[in-house]
Structure 1
Amino acid sequence: MSEEAAVLIISMLPVVELRGALPVACLMGMNPVLAYVLAVVGNMIPVVPILLFLGPLSRWLSRYKLGRAFFNWFFERARKKSRSIEKYETLGLALFVAVPLPITGAWTGCAAAFLFGIKFKHALVAILAGVMIAGLIMTVLCLMGMLGAIIAGVVLMGLMVMGLLGLFKREQPAEE
């Protein structure tokens, strides 16, 4: 398999998406512009089918216990991660997808667009904009080498700490 095909395929995968494809391309020594274009295109390939078929597929599979359990879990995760989408709709969707963190990519963006009833055309444009911004951020971090990795690590650790602090705040019983 060619390096270009590998980047394209990796960027199509859920969870990994472009956030995983660009560092791989960087490690392979690929031209950053080519890597960016391949990762964005690859990340967008599943978007149209997901936007078109997620609703009918989820309704059909939800007739079965396992399908219902999966979609309840999947949509609940998307709801929890997408407060900005609910508030700002299309712009919120673009910003949500643009943040290059796990579970904020195009796949979850499609689920959020479905959940919040964002029209196909608006969702497609917002997800494309978000993917392009996330791709730029990841490309810059990759070009920065070790410094980029350190910056990304510090940001991820900070977000994890903030998330844990938020969990502890929510778990404390309310005072009367």
Structure 2
Amino acid sequence: MAYLKIMILSMIPITELRGAIPIGIALGLNPIGVYIASVVGSTLVSIPLILTFRHIIHFLRDIKMCEGLVRKVDRKIASGMKKLKNISILGIILFVGVPLPTTGTWTAAAVASILKMRIKDAFLGVLLGNMMAGIIVSALSLHLI
């Protein structure tokens, strides 16, 4: 039950994986179990987030006040799409994988939605990034680095 709580905690935007792992380790839970629960929770939430952000962006296109801004972003993305497609998965991996504030799953899902990434690619990028961030945060929490 404690690992389920850690998994749910890793889904919340304020704590995410970066907060769930130190909390789980501080509670005396097995670090490997905490790592797995945190990575799974933080990654699973990415698919509904990407779909939700896509709907929000689509909704913003219909609002007159936001139409110009959304169109400008769409043009910018379309002009550099060939370059972005090649580096987008790597970019998401590095964006999520470096455990800094505001670089977690929630922000990556918004970026993937704006870039119109395929869900499979965005999910893979978030998963690998969460695995990388989880290792770093676990090592810091266990005072290994």
TM-score interval (norm. to shorter): 0.7 to 0.9
* Corresponding residue of 2:22: 23
* Corresponding residue of 2:138: 139
Query: One-letter code of the match for 1:118?
Result: M
Query: Which is greater in Rg?
Result: 1
* Corresponding residue of 1:118: 117
1:56 corresponds to 2:62: no
Within 5 A, what are the aligned runs for 1:41-80? Answer: 41-60=40-59
Query: One-letter code of the match for 2:142?
Result: L
Residue deviations 1:43-78, cap 9 Å, x none?
11211111223212333367579xx6xxx9xx9xxx
Q: Does the 8 A contact of 1:98 with 1:129 survive in 2?
A: yes
Query: One-letter code of the match for 2:21?
Result: L
Residue deviations 1:94-126, cap 9 Å, x none?
101101111001111111111122221111101
* Corresponding residue of 2:39: 40
Question: What TM-score, normalized to structure 1?
Answer: 0.65
Tell which has more relative contact order, 1 or 2 (C-alpha 8 A, sep 6+). 2
Query: One-letter code of the match for 2:139?
Result: V
Q: How many matched pairs?
A: 129
CA distance in 2, matches of 1:36, 1:19: 10
Q: Does the 8 A contact of 1:15 with 1:105 survive in 2?
A: no
Shift >4 Å, 4+ stretches: 61-65
Q: Does the 8 A contact of 1:98 with 1:132 survive in 2?
A: yes
Question: What TM-score, normalized to structure 2?
Answer: 0.78
Gaps of 5+ in 1: 76-84, 149-176
